[in-house]
Chain A
Amino acid sequence: MMKLDARIPSGPLEQKWDKARFEMKLVSPANKRKYSVIMVGTGLAGGSAAATLGELGYNVKAFCYQDSPRRAHSIAAQGGINAAKNYQNDGDSVYRLFYDTVKGGDFRSREANVYRLADLSVNIIDQCVAQGVPFAREYGGVLANRSFGGAQVSRTFYARGQTGQQLLLGAYQAMERQVQAGTVQVFAHHEMLELVVVDGRARGIIERNMVTGEISAHVADAVVLATGGYGNVFYLSTNAKGCNTTGIWRAYKKGAAFANPCYTQIHPTCIPVSGDYQSKLTLMSESLRNDGRIWVPRKKGDTRPPNQTPEGERDYYLERMYPSFGNLSPRDIASRAAQRVCDEGRGVGPTGLGVYLDFADAIARLGKKTIAERYGNLFEMYERITGENPYEGPMRIFPAAHYTMGGLWVDYHLMSTLPGLFVLGEANFSDHGANRLGASALMQGLADGYFVIPYTLSHFLAGVKPGDGVTVGHAEFQAARSEVGRRTARFLSIKGKRSVDSFHRELGKVMWEDCGMARNRKGLESALARIPAIREEFWKNLNVTGEALEINQALEKAGRLADFLELGELICRDALEREESCGGHFREEYQTPDGEALRNDEKFAHVAAWEYAGENAKPIRNTEPLDYENLHLAQRSYK
């Protein structure tokens, strides 16, 4: 069993971060340049962290699998970023953002972490504005806000439907400035394949140059993973095709605990699947629910076109079931409600797996121009994909895998159970509990990167000697390197019949059916039997063409899928052992009479942190109790 010390500072909630910052050790300006840091991933968390650490004077090597750090998947975030600025004077405060986030996460996150996040949110907006992020503005020149799910205040800042893009470009540009200054080195088109641990401390990585195929080792005083989430375990998700779990999975197998893998988020508003060639699902921003109304026909099997369904025969089910939050109910709740009406046979579209998101009322009330200003690019995207014009008829939407709240376990310092290994953004488990609210992912990524890691990493580095006598010649580096070489050779030598994608689709289907929006014991047990079988066939019958020392996209995908095939099993195991429903984890056995998630605080008000126990051994489930000192654990209600 591991000892999980979250290192949460004592004292009142509001003073914890100040206290921690004061107690942390510093590295003097002249000594900073002697330390080196490896950053894996250059999205909002990794990009902002690399830039900030570079500004402080550390030597940073930043790695990303894309051909440019500007393309990390944070770029696809559409709707916005939350911050407790209370510019709208509508009752917001740091404490309210903290409360909404803990409640939205169904009381499965750490109070201290979430409070810090809410507290830092205001600094993020200031920083991004100063970088030139073109946020939406009012005619008076001040910043505009909109509402998002799970909140009754307007605290979301946005740049049309491309908020993630603009924030990422801000972080990317700040990082490029440091490249120019000589503190940051970028390795684009390089993929981390192994973590190197020396004497119990993370000391480096092994990576593959995706253009030449060359494998290299890198040593540093600390390693930071900001590699994003693992939603692609479902094959079809809103994630980019390359998003993968390899970074965190390799770290898990080297001793970092993996927390709450079963907390996965299904986003309610995505474009429905159209055929079996489908390669990904496209999100339609949650911000659309500000003005769009979600409905299905009242009657089962009603196939009339939407404009011929009279008002009285429509069921605006979110407004009916959750009158105070209505269409802005949190994601997990809205997704399950959509699934429920489709299960009742009231779904729309050719597959019956869809619901309407209708803007007719909003267009009548505000005019087409205003709607175009708010959502124009999203409407165009919808039309490009479906060939239908959402100004004229409602969109069809359906839930899809989107975000993963689980990730590597980290303490208050964002350090994993492996000393020297820090984890930021979606790759860690820290702030969203069992469900993330809309516009909070960008907030967390940037809080971690701009404002938390500079302090906590400095504190760690102040306690170690630069270099410490370890080089890439060390036996652990050699071993990790040959392990990577062996795995690559193995993929290429199987020469079976099936492509990587065919296995990935098969895994995704099992995960979606048995460990998706709703889960039960029988399904999870069946998944736990089927996944190892898929894995076995994968290693016998995989077909990877080409060679190791060249651009080989099939080889890249094979490496990522091999890790997903192991992670999938851990997700199901975690889902099976968590005998309660909370947030994105809905166990059919545990629900209230009206179908809401039923938590079991007595048994499960804790974090489950899984510890790798070796090949073919059952992983160990460690727990970190969640103590609520400030908030009262309550059944979530959005009614």
Chain B
Amino acid sequence: MKLVLNIWRQKNSNAKGKMVRYELANVSEHMSFLEMLDVLNEELTAKGEDPVAFEHDCREGICGCCGFMINGVAHGPQPGTTVCQLHMRHFKDGDELWLEPWRAKAFPVLKDLMVDRSAFDRIIRAGGYVSVSTGSAPDGNAIPIEKQKAELAMDAAQCIGCGACVAACPNASAMLFTSAKVSHLALLPQGQPERDRRVLSMVAQMQEEMFGACTNMGECEAVCPKNIRLENIARMNREYLRASWTFREEEAVAGGG
């Protein structure tokens, strides 16, 4: 098939970007979307032009590197699918596509379709973990976990941190991402000791990074390649409310010894 691609080209964070039009022939329906871009890049390189920069690594939908907007939809038209797993059989001959990077203040464009998502790492850093140093763990079966709870935690833990939720949200909110981690750990007994502190610090960090607020649009859930559910946001709101009422920073008490 033949395609027309309008791709956002931007040399670096400081440069002004613009849409550039490319025509690409001989696209096979069995190619993945990124393989189609590989073919375009080979053509551009042969002409001595700069290839289109896009993030990608595993190309099997799990590393979370890839992602951009295709005709205004994060990761393109197929639900529950990252752009690396989107195949060209979902497009037809003569289609014209517009490819743009994630757009959010917290995700500055680095080049072409690449953005800086380090804000997500900083949200995890603020508390998205269980503080258990290596060596101090009890036996794996010491604490039984209700199967259903474990499954729910796993549903939330599947998040790949690609950032599609932020890109799809009219407010550029990171609530789906943050709530997935808060839910994952709040649902498990291992997450209980730091439950309140975690949600408060992660939400505070999310705000500091200039992500927008959630207004329950649901666009995030619609584009999430891992089908992370909105109920996680509801759970995080409950967690946040509960923690806000009861949590107090401990006062320092000098120890003996």
Asked if A543 is at the interface (CB within 8 A of a chain B CB), the reply is yes
Residues in B with CB closer than 8 Å to A82 are none
Q: Are B120 and A68 in contact (CB under 8 A)?
A: yes
Q: Are A240 and B58 in contact (CB under 8 A)?
A: yes
Q: Are A274 and B30 in contact (CB under 8 A)?
A: yes
Q: Are A241 and B137 in contact (CB under 8 A)?
A: no
Asked if B141 is at the interface (CB within 8 A of a chain A CB), the reply is yes
Q: Are B114 and A68 in contact (CB under 8 A)?
A: no
For residue B190, give the distance in angstroms from its CB to the closest CB of chain A: 5
Residues in A with CB closer than 8 Å to B23 are none
A387 to B31, CA, bound (A): 12
Q: Are A70 and B46 in contact (CB under 8 A)?
A: no
Q: Are B51 and A134 in contact (CB under 8 A)?
A: no
Q: Are B63 and A278 in contact (CB under 8 A)?
A: no
Asked if A197 is at the interface (CB within 8 A of a chain B CB), the reply is no
Q: Are B45 and A67 in contact (CB under 8 A)?
A: no
Asked if A521 is at the interface (CB within 8 A of a chain B CB), the reply is no
A128 to B53, CA, bound (A): 36
Looking across the interface, which residue of chain A has its beta carbon closest to that of B11?
A550
Residues in A with CB closer than 8 Å to B81 are 384
Asked if B9 is at the interface (CB within 8 A of a chain A CB), the reply is no
Residues in B with CB closer than 8 Å to A28 are none
Q: Are B132 and A75 in contact (CB under 8 A)?
A: no
Residues in B with CB closer than 8 Å to A381 are 60-61, 85
Asked if A628 is at the interface (CB within 8 A of a chain B CB), the reply is no
Residues in B with CB closer than 8 Å to A68 are 64, 117-118, 120-121, 161
Q: Are A126 and B28 in contact (CB under 8 A)?
A: no
Q: Are B129 and A174 in contact (CB under 8 A)?
A: yes
Q: Are A75 and B184 in contact (CB under 8 A)?
A: no
Q: Are B185 and A159 in contact (CB under 8 A)?
A: no
Partner pick for A76 among B38, B60, B140, CB 8 A cutoff: B60
Residue of A166, A179, A279, A380 with highest tally of chain B CB at under 10 A: A279
Interface-forming stretch among B147-155, B167-175, B214-222, B242-250?
B147-155
A137 to B187, CA, bound (A): 14
Partner pick for A132 among B28, B57, B136, B184, CB 8 A cutoff: B184
Interface, chain B (partner A; CB < 8 A) = 11-12, 28, 30-32, 34-36, 38-39, 42, 44-46, 48-51, 53, 55-65, 78, 80-81, 85-87, 89, 110-111, 114, 116-118, 120-121, 124-126, 128-141, 143-147, 150-151, 153-154, 157-158, 160-161, 184-185, 188, 190-191
Interface, chain A (partner B; CB < 8 A) = 48, 51-52, 55, 66-71, 73, 75-76, 85, 87, 123, 125-132, 134-143, 159-160, 162, 164-166, 169, 172-174, 176-177, 179-180, 186, 188, 211, 240-242, 274-275, 277-280, 282-283, 380-381, 384-385, 387, 450-451, 454, 497, 499, 501-502, 543, 545-546, 550-551, 553-554
Question: A137-B144, A279-B59 given. 4 additional CB < 8 A pairs?
Answer: A75-B63, A130-B132, A499-B42, A502-B42
